């Protein structure tokens, strides 16, 4: 997953949490980057027609931006679920974030052939908990 996809996913989740436009600060927090870096990338994404940015109001994904963000979130869900179900990784959130930059969507699609993912993915993703709401990870949550 490239930088653009990671930004779109973060904006999508920040918008869900805000139930409206996302602040650039929230996007920067999601990605653990500086607000200046986030601002720069948001400008690029706006010029590509993937979002609208209004000063003092925040960032709003366009339909195309939403589609790409949902694809990116789905890939992320596949990586997390694969780490939990197949490799039994306890620190799967941290590792999924490390891996998402190296695991391309075609690779994620293949990993998807051996995991149990629900058809409503990625709507079941819980942004607060940073994991699919349908994935049984109670033990991992407490050990994180």
Partner 1 sequence: MSLRAPIASDHQLARLLQIGIVLEEVVEARAEKHAEATQDAEVVAMLEDAVAESAEHRERLEAIIADLDAETVPFDEIQTLVEAQYEADQDFDGILYDQLCNEETAYKFYDDLIGAIEASDADFGVDRTHLLSVLETIRDEEADGVEEVTELMEDYR
Binding site for partner 1 (CB under 8 A): 1-3, 6, 31, 33, 82, 86-87, 89, 95, 97-104, 106-107, 109-111, 113-115
What the block records as the tokens of 84 is: 């939990």
Between 48 and 57, whose beta carbon lies closer to partner 1?
Answer: 48
Shortest distance, position 82 Cβ to partner 1, whole Å? 8
Report the nearest approach of partner 1 to the CB of residue 72 (Å). 12
Task: Tell me how far, at minimum, the Cβ of 46 lies from partner 1, in Å.
Answer: 19
Closer CB to partner 1, 109 or 123, in the complex: 109
Helix or strand (DSSP H, E) at 73: helix 63-85
53 has which bridge partners? Answer: 59
Nearer to partner 1, 109 or 144 (CB): 109
Distance CA 117, CA 139 (A): 19
- Contacts of 49 by beta carbon, 8 Å cutoff, 6+ apart: 62, 64, 65
State residue 101 phi and psi, 5-degree precision.
-75, -20
Considering beta carbons, is residue 53 or 97 the nearer one to partner 1?
Answer: 97
């Amino acid at each position: 997953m490239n930088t653009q996809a990671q930004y779109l996913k973060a904006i999508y989740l920040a918008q869900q949490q805000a139930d409206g436009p996302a602040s650039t600060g929230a996007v920067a927090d999601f990605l653990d980057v500086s607000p200046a870096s986030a601002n720069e990338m948001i400008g690029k994404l706006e010029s590509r027609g993937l979002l609208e940015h209004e000063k003092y109001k925040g960032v709003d994904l366009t339909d195309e931006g939403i589609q790409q963000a949902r694809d990116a979130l789905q890939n992320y869900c596949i990586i997390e679920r694969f780490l939990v179900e197949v490799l039994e990784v306890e620190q799967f959130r941290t590792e999924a974030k490390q891996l998402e930059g190296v695991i391309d969507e075609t690779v994620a699609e293949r990993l998807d052939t051996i995991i149990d993912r629900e058809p409503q993915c990625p709507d079941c993703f819980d942004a607060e908990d940073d994991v699919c709401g349908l994935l049984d990870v109670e033990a991992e949550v407490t050990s994180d």
